[in-house]
Structure 1
Amino acid sequence: MKKYILITLAFSVFACAPKLKSNIETKLEPLPKGTLIVVLEQTDNQDIEGQLIGEVSAKDNGFSVNCGYYQNINNLKEVARNSGANLVKITQEKQPSKWSSCFRIWGKIYKVDDPKVYETKIEWSDKRRLVWSDFKGTPDTEAHPNTLAITNSGFGIESSFNPFKASEIIVHNTFNTFKSWGIPEHMNDYVLRHEQIHFDITEIFTRKLRKTLFDNNLTSKDITRAKALFESTFQEYKLFQERYDADTQKGEKKDTQEKWEAIVEIELAKYDAYKT
């Protein structure tokens, strides 16, 4: 009986959730669910014009689960939202080590007038379509001649590691605002539609990979196999994106563009169960 109790206690300690802490200087009303919360990385040097609300952290003292970088970023975004803040500026990060299975993050939270001004990454959502103000990069016509716009997006996987308990493998995607651009005189609705489809294709393959991992019941203990499946899915994704541009001649063939929009809509619906 004593051995059973000790095992149970050890399991409770090592399989705990990440510890979220906050030191709130200014108390504001929580923001509604679904409010945009922007996260700035530690290396981001943008000047923040807003009200400092406080400091936050996501960490642990042992081997927690489901506390990788992406998961703890979402945890801190929720702390910020509940504190009335809409921007998180990361000030320190520590990767998992032999002392902790978590990706530990510290930061400051702010309330700013327009968080979109600071946005560097956008995750796909059916509630938000791209607009030209999301394309913040400087056009590089030398590297990309005869190109009206560039959408820089992709997807990846991550998981925290715990030797005592398996954790979930997270699949997420990103549109990089400062690496995406458009030629000002060609920033019209039609070109924007073409670029939106590029991002929609990213979401399709994000969902396909989630389905593959789910169908194979893969967790953090199967990360090597998961990486192999990611690589094969990503190669398929690149070919699909290239075929889209080739078939539509980068959007110039309007009839083919409309056909691709229909194809993408069908594919998104096909994997609807795997959207976040």
Structure 2
Amino acid sequence: MKWIFAACFLITNMLFGQKIYWDEGRKLTWNDFKSNINRKGGDNVVAYTNCGWIYSYEKSSDPKAPVKIKVETVFNIDKSWKDVKRINDYVLLHEQKHFDVAEVFARKLRKEISEKIRTSSDFDKYFKGIYNRILKEYQDFQRAYDGETKNGMVEEKQSEYNRIIAEELENYKSYKTP
């Protein structure tokens, strides 16, 4: 049976929030940053990327029935902000990498789901724990990325992270969405 929650969540997001779904052939542009509100605060913030994942699932009340779980990486247009007086291509690359990091961890989540969750019973036992652990790793990585690069201003660290993120996308390429 399909869960109404997942359907309502997706419909609500479609109606009230504009999203870009991660696609390796589609890079962010400054036109994608539509919020007028600096959600991070501080004078040193040039832009803010609001991104993450959405998931939906289909499961049965039969604990042995197969379960389908879909995880998608999204960029929230209406929650992403830029200071139009200070933006440039270098800052945009830093923001793109935030979105790419979200995709890396979505792939890690898809990998764990594919390895550990096959049935409705598995979903009930394991999904929340897997999701919360990967989410914490994702949040920690995003904080370290901004901290070590000083929001992209330390070029050497930014280059290092660009390489790490590209390698991780490649390492988990079999878990990208078709």
* Equivalent in the alignment of 1:238: 139
Q: Percent identity?
A: 35
Partners of 1:226 and 1:177 in 2: how far apart? 28
**1:103 touches 1:160 (CA, 8 Å); kept in 2?**
no
Partners of 1:151 and 1:132 in 2: how far apart? 11
- Measure how far apart 1:267 and its partner are: 0.4
* Equivalent in the alignment of 2:51: 153
* Equivalent in the alignment of 1:17: none
* Equivalent in the alignment of 1:185: 85
Matching residue within 99, 104, 117 for 1:199: 99
Tell me whether 1:257 sits opposite 2:155 in the alignment: no
* Equivalent in the alignment of 1:267: 168
Matching residue within 153, 167, 170 for 2:70: 170
**2:38 touches 2:82 (CA, 8 Å); kept in 1?**
no
- Measure how far apart 1:216 and its partner are: 1.6
- Measure how far apart 1:155 and its partner are: 1.5
- Measure how far apart 1:127 and its partner are: 1.2
Secondary structure of the corresponding residue to residue 92 of structure 2: helix
Partners of 1:202 and 1:212 in 2: how far apart? 16
Partners of 1:183 and 1:126 in 2: how far apart? 25
- Measure how far apart 1:229 and its partner are: 0.4
Distance 1:219 1:123, change over 3 A: farther
Secondary structure of the corresponding residue to residue 166 of structure 2: helix
**2:117 touches 2:127 (CA, 8 Å); kept in 1?**
no
- Measure how far apart 1:119 and its partner are: 7.7
Distance 1:126 1:219, change over 3 A: farther
Residue deviations 1:14-72, cap 9 Å, x none?
xxxxxxxxxxxxxxxxxxxxxxxxxxxxxxxxxxxxxxxxxxxxxxxxx4xxx56xxxx
Secondary structure of the corresponding residue to residue 58 of structure 2: coil
**Largest Rg, 1 or 2:** 1
Identify which of structures 1 and 2 has the higher relative contact order when contacts are C-alpha pairs closer than 8 Å and 6+ apart: 2
Secondary structure of the corresponding residue to residue 175 of structure 1: strand
TM-score between both structures, scaled by the size of structure 1: 0.56
Return the letter of the residue paired with 2:85. E
Distance 1:120 1:103, change over 3 A: closer
- Structure (1 or 2) with the greater strand fraction: 1
How big is the alpha-carbon RMSD for the aligned residues of Structure 1 and Structure 2? 2.3
- Structure (1 or 2) with the greater helix fraction: 2
Number of positions where the alignment pairs a residue of Structure 1 with one of Structure 2: 168
* Equivalent in the alignment of 1:133: 31
Partners of 1:163 and 1:139 in 2: how far apart? 43
Matching residue within 229, 249, 256 for 2:130: 229
* Equivalent in the alignment of 1:34: none
- Mark the runs of 5 or more structure 2 residues left unpaired by the alignment: none
**1:166 touches 1:219 (CA, 8 Å); kept in 2?**
yes
Distance 1:223 1:157, change over 3 A: farther
- Mark the runs of 5 or more structure 1 residues left unpaired by the alignment: 1-62, 69-94, 97-101, 108-117
- Measure how far apart 1:174 and its partner are: 1.2
